[in-house]
Amino acid sequence: MRMKIKDFAHTKEEFKLKRVEEGLYKTQNLPQNLDFYYDFEEYISHDESKKGIIGRVYDVVKKFMFYQKLNLIKKYSNENPKVLDYGCGTGDFLDYLNQKKYKVEGFEPTQKANEIASKKDLKMHSDVNSIIGKFDVITLFHVLEHVEDIDYLIKRLKQKLNENGILIIAVPNHESKDAKIYKEFWAAWDVPRHIWHFSKSSLIRKIKSYSLKLISVKPLFFDAIYISMVSEKYKQGNSIKGILNGLYANLSALKTKSWSSHIFIFKKGI
């Protein structure tokens, strides 16, 4: 089955999605100049400005998520872990950990975002081969869907994990209720920036194939609300309806356990 999705956020171009395996789709005909598709003012993860109600909601949710992410690291890792945030954007979460005296490094290939993060006195990398040493925790928060060669990346990151180290991955779930409500307008398709489109089960199956043990799966409650608000914008709707649909999606997920996005915690060496 193939679907056509529009880049509502930027160029308005259409891209086809192809089913690769059960629950996993890939964006087809990827542009050679993908950097261009990230270079626009409203791409919030690489832009520190907070504009409009959606930007303000994003900022509030982001600060809450820092707390949730830190608690996951505390719960599943050892004391005083060394952390690599892969795809760290402008480095806000790294900066949060750094202020709490964690040993942190970040990887961000996008030049603009990397430059902003570097100004925060953070140890940054733009080339994966420049990352030296091993880590107790590697995080990929809404990053894996952007990576064309997942096989190379996961194998490389696994090498960078200490024994019993944890890999924390967050990705959108195209089988969620909000995805079904908004269909082709669902903001988390985000083509062509999102190359891969996972279901909950397809992500688990993919990462377990690298001999990493699944420890836990957690919901990202606020993603349904934020994504629904952006999806309403694409439909020329209103933010209030987006909030209500996001809440409805979360209520549905209480029964189905299929949330708008999930955090997956995997462990090496057990």
Q: What is the pLDDT of residue 66?
A: 93
Q: What is the pLDDT of residue 45?
A: 55
Task: Assign 114 to helix, strand or coil.
Answer: helix
What residues of the chain score a pLDDT lower than 50? Answer: 44, 46
pLDDT in tens, 223-268: 999 999 999 999 999 999 999 999 999 999 999 999 999 999 999 9
pLDDT in tens, 168-192: 999 999 999 999 999 999 999 999 9
Instruction: State the Cα–Cα distance between residues 158 and 156, nearest whole angstrom.
Output: 5
Six-digit token string for 266: 């995997």
Domains of the chain and any CATH numbers: 2-267 (3.40.50.150)
Cα–Cα separations (whole angstroms), residue 267 to 100, 117, 157: 24, 28, 12
Instruction: State the Cα–Cα distance between residues 211 and 207, nearest whole angstrom.
Output: 8
Output the DSSP codes for 53-73. HHHHHHHHHHHHHHHHHHHHH
Indicate whether this model's pTM tops 0.95: no
Q: What is the pLDDT of residue 2?
A: 62
Six-digit token string for 174: 């195209």
